[in-house]
Structure 1
Amino acid sequence: MTGLLPDNDLLVQFSQLFQQRTSLSNMQAHWQQYHWKETIKLGFSNHKHEDWKYTSLDRLLQYRFNYAQKLKISKQQCDCLALPLDSHRLVFLNGRFIASLSDNIYESYQVSSLVEQKNIPVAVHAEVFLHLTESLAQESLLIRLAAGKKSNKPLYLLHISSGQTDNQNKNIINSSYYRHHLLIEENAKIQVIEHFVSLNNQSHFTCARLTISLGDNAQLTHYKLAFENQHSYHFSHNDLILGNHAYAHSDSFLLGANLTRHHTSAQLNGKGSYISINSLLLPFREEICDSRTYLEHNKGHCHSQQLHKTIVYNNGKAVFDGILKVAPHAVRTDGKITNNNLLLSKQAEVNTKPRLEIYTDDVKCSHGATVGYIDIEQVSYLRSRGISKTKAKQMIIFAFAAELTESLKNKIIHQQVVTRITKRLKRIDI
């Protein structure tokens, strides 16, 4: 158990929450007990552990963790936080599904409580916060899109988390746990939007777990928007499991939170499948943003692409860790991981580690990373055209991000991402 935090303080705190949880069934309680044992086994590591070398959990030790209480907010409050989308909206507040704020009709989707785990895939690449979320989630949701169905509207999952409003107890932090499973059957097509926001400007702790199973020839377009406040803590883990000739595209925009650690794990378990995994990170000042991917090519003739970009300012820190693994019989695999990083100041820090594990011949795989500063010659050229220094740098930053933002086919998502980046850039002096 080397490399754990002193006395494993976090484990003691979360143990108290585990005793307070409510389970929907004996089967769910058994499943949560399993995940809690795995949480105990792994523990919460300090910087001496390789996986946590660049992402310190020390700042969490200042808090005492509570389950966020059930709250009621008005539809008007909810609408102000929501994206103006023509969608099927499901609203979650402090870890719980709020039917009164959600749409009543889901078109082709079937929505129910996730009480049986027998059809849920095991974790692709487990880690401690994955197990923590599974063990502490008060509710779990199953969303099914039947075979051959193609929804005309995106599925919009709005997660609203709130911080403590009692200023007398600043060391107490609300914690919320979100658990969803999407079952996309063969020949079905879906667009999914995960949106995380803060109800107020107080500190809060969010854990989220989303698993998605795609049947043969199924198609998924997925956007994750982590737009919580700068005092929040966001830990999440998404799993994507693809069948034969399935297609998945996943974009994550991690544009908020004091400390973020997001995992995307995937398995290509059918022939001829394609997956694209991308992310954009903007940690400023003392923020830490950690993005990790783990991708298994388990069948032949599959294609994967990954593009991960970070923009880091002041004492901000970005971490990227990506693994592309090719199984012995996964011939004709075509896989690529790229991580590009832009530093806006000398104090900014980025740690990048893309890597390959290949156990067969007849593949085409590559990985690479770049780290650099804003090109002064580009700034000078723009200034010679009458553009201010600040505006010139902003234009270069947006150009750097454009490879991800301009590929967004949903115009509302594109607008919201660009607006979020603009607001964050206004907070800093570049």
Structure 2
Amino acid sequence: MKDNIYNKLKNLYKLNKKYFYSNKSKIDLYKLKNCLKKELLYDNQKLLFKYLNNNLLINSESLPINNNRLLKLLFPIDAITLFFINGKIDKNFSNINNKYYKIDIDHTISNSSFFKKNIYHYLSEAFTKKNILININHVKNIKVKKPLYIVYFNDKNKKNEIAIFNYRNFIYIKNTFSTIIEHHINTDKSYINNIYNTFIIKNNSKLEHYTFITNHNNNNNNNFCSINNEFILYSNVFYKKYDVLMSNKYINQNNNFRFLGEKTKLVYNSLLFSKNSNIININNYLEHDKKNSCSVQLHKAITLNQSIINLIGLLKINKYAIKTNGKLNYSCLLLNKLSRINIQPGLDILNDNVKCTHSVFTGKIDHNQIFFLRTRGISFKKSYSILLISFILDSVNEINNSIIKNKILQKISCYLSVENFLNEF
């Protein structure tokens, strides 16, 4: 199976290298081969590569997009929008030239990663058509900066073929406040989205970063999504990250945070939903290197049917990171007996002058609470919906934009087949 997958990737490279691949891509391809030998047998990757083994892997190609259909699926917000469609940025549809952000396409960047790379990193670097560099700096005479709205959308479907779309993005933020919204719009096509982002957040910067994976219908999707994020945080940074991920066939997200400055704070909230036989793997690694920093993480997950969510989180505090405050919390709901949630939190603390906590809760809907609500004249279905919405409501309220908040809650309610009680709360 390993040889078959590698041969597919190698042939893909040979067919397309004369168009857009660099010499570095060839090196990354051989690194990918070595990585495949070591990591293919991991349980969290078996599903993806088994799926690839039974399908013809093809490269992304330019296809006409129904713009009206796409616009209906977007959040109705005033923002600078970048559209990544079928493996590349759409220059005609995107707001590349604007006064808020400097966006360079096909920018050569020498990046030495602090973190260990996996299969998806090498896959992205070997097969990305063009790197994207986004500079977010302080601009004089502009007090309010529009959000940066990054949209991923694919519309390709052929029988017995699975298209792969790779992206490599670098985002530099310096001495400013900005909002970034990443929106992955799932369709019922068969494809792999593989995104590799590096965020470098310089001194005195503030960033709100939202990642949404949403379904435009309630059908079972056959697509895969892999998101690999690297975050380098310097001094006096406030970074708020928020994720809402609704399951594809397979979601794999790796978040690597490294604090290289003092007096920096991270607030990270996530909501994960999985149903049918889908799988979500989330791996969060956070390392504090400097003193007087703070990180607060709250992750909530809901599974139903025969779905699986795997959560791994490691909080590491090095010996020079004195007076660090770290919190790691997981809260999960199992909505039936066949679904599973596996949680593995970890603390690696190398000095004594810190404050760190971690907690895990996994349970199900309490029927005593449903009975209590029913004695007050509330129907069973509405009681069930109230308890589910109340479980996630504190996390949903962390979304500052009211339009996005209402849209997300509508999608969650549809996904879980429950009523939307936002106004009543």
**In 1, Cα distance between the equivalents of 2:413 and 2:154?**
23
Tell me the CA shift for residue 104 of structure 1. 5.4
Q: Which position in structure 2 is the counterpart of 1:86?
A: 78
**In 2, Cα distance between the equivalents of 1:162 and 1:53?**
24
Tell me the CA shift for residue 427 of structure 1. 9.2
Deviations 1:264-310 (A, max 9, x none): 11111001111122221111010111111111101111100111111
**In 2, Cα distance between the equivalents of 1:257 and 1:184?**
31
Contact 1:177 1:206 in 2 (8 A): yes
Instruction: For 1:111, give the aligned amino acid.
Output: I
Q: Which position in structure 2 is the counterpart of 1:192?
A: 180
- For residues 102-117 of structure 1, the aligned pairs below 5 Å read 102-103=94-95, 105-117=97-109
- For residues 219-298 of structure 1, the aligned pairs below 5 Å read 219-228=206-215, 230-298=221-289
Q: Which moved more, 1:67-76 or 1:217-226?
A: 67-76
Instruction: For 2:150, give the aligned amino acid.
Output: L
**In 1, Cα distance between the equivalents of 2:173 and 2:379?**
49
**In 2, Cα distance between the equivalents of 1:380 and 1:232?**
39
| Counterpart pick for 1:174 among 158, 163, 173 | 163
Indicate yes or no: 2:200 matched with 1:209: no
Q: Which position in structure 2 is the counterpart of 1:412?
A: 403
Instruction: For 1:249, give the aligned amino acid.
Output: K
**In 1, Cα distance between the equivalents of 2:365 and 2:190?**
33
Indicate yes or no: 2:305 matched with 1:314: yes
Indicate yes or no: 2:65 matched with 1:73: yes
Q: Which position in structure 1 is the counterpart of 2:423?
A: none
**In 2, Cα distance between the equivalents of 1:47 and 1:13?**
15
| Counterpart pick for 1:383 among 374, 388, 402 | 374
**In 2, Cα distance between the equivalents of 1:214 and 1:190?**
11
Aligned length: 413
Tell me the CA shift for residue 234 of structure 1. 0.7
Deviations 1:192-251 (A, max 9, x none): 0001113x4222211111111111011110000112562211111111111111111111
Q: Which moved more, 1:315-324 or 1:175-184?
A: 175-184
Q: Which moved more, 1:372-381 or 1:229-238?
A: 229-238
Q: Which position in structure 2 is the counterpart of 1:341?
A: 332
TM-score for both structures, normalised by structure 2: 0.91
**In 1, Cα distance between the equivalents of 2:32 and 2:96?**
37
Q: Which position in structure 2 is the counterpart of 1:402?
A: 393
Contact 1:94 1:177 in 2 (8 A): no
**In 2, Cα distance between the equivalents of 1:353 and 1:88?**
38
Instruction: For 2:323, give the aligned amino acid.
Output: R
Tell me the CA shift for residue 385 of structure 1. 2.4
Q: Which moved more, 1:148-157 or 1:242-251?
A: 148-157
**In 2, Cα distance between the equivalents of 1:254 and 1:16?**
33
**In 2, Cα distance between the equivalents of 1:353 and 1:31?**
36
Indicate yes or no: 2:12 matched with 1:17: yes
**In 2, Cα distance between the equivalents of 1:145 and 1:298?**
25
Tell me the CA shift for residue 62 of structure 1. 2.3
Instruction: For 1:178, give the aligned amino acid.
Output: Y
Name the SS for the 1:101 alignment partner.
Answer: coil
**In 1, Cα distance between the equivalents of 2:126 and 2:45?**
25
Instruction: For 1:87, give the aligned amino acid.
Output: A
Contact 1:71 1:93 in 2 (8 A): no
Instruction: For 2:8, give the aligned amino acid.
Output: Q
Name the SS for the 1:227 alignment partner.
Answer: strand
Alpha-carbon spacing, 1:57–1:151, altered in 2? closer, same or farther (3 Å): farther
Tell me the CA shift for residue 403 of structure 1. 2.3
Name the SS for the 2:33 alignment partner.
Answer: helix
Structure 2 portions without partners, runs of 5+:
420-425
Deviations 1:135-172 (A, max 9, x none): 111122111012466652100001111231x3xx2x21
- For residues 30-109 of structure 1, the aligned pairs below 5 Å read 30-43=23-36, 49=42, 52=44, 57-103=49-95, 105-109=97-101
TM-score for both structures, normalised by structure 1: 0.90
Contact 2:194 2:226 in 1 (8 A): yes
Q: Which moved more, 1:265-274 or 1:94-103?
A: 94-103
Tell me the CA shift for residue 23 of structure 1. 7.7
Q: Which moved more, 1:264-273 or 1:416-425?
A: 416-425
Contact 2:107 2:130 in 1 (8 A): no
Contact 1:21 1:138 in 2 (8 A): no
Tell me the CA shift for residue 328 of structure 1. 1.7
Contact 1:94 1:176 in 2 (8 A): yes
Q: Which position in structure 2 is the counterpart of 1:3?
A: none
Alpha-carbon spacing, 1:265–1:414, altered in 2? closer, same or farther (3 Å): same
Tell me the CA shift for residue 382 of structure 1. 1.7
**In 2, Cα distance between the equivalents of 1:368 and 1:183?**
33
Instruction: For 2:178, give the aligned amino acid.
Output: I
Name the SS for the 2:377 alignment partner.
Answer: coil
| Counterpart pick for 2:150 among 133, 154, 157 | 157
Q: Equivalent pairs: percent with the same residue? A: 24
Name the SS for the 1:115 alignment partner.
Answer: coil
Tell me the CA shift for residue 121 of structure 1. 4.9
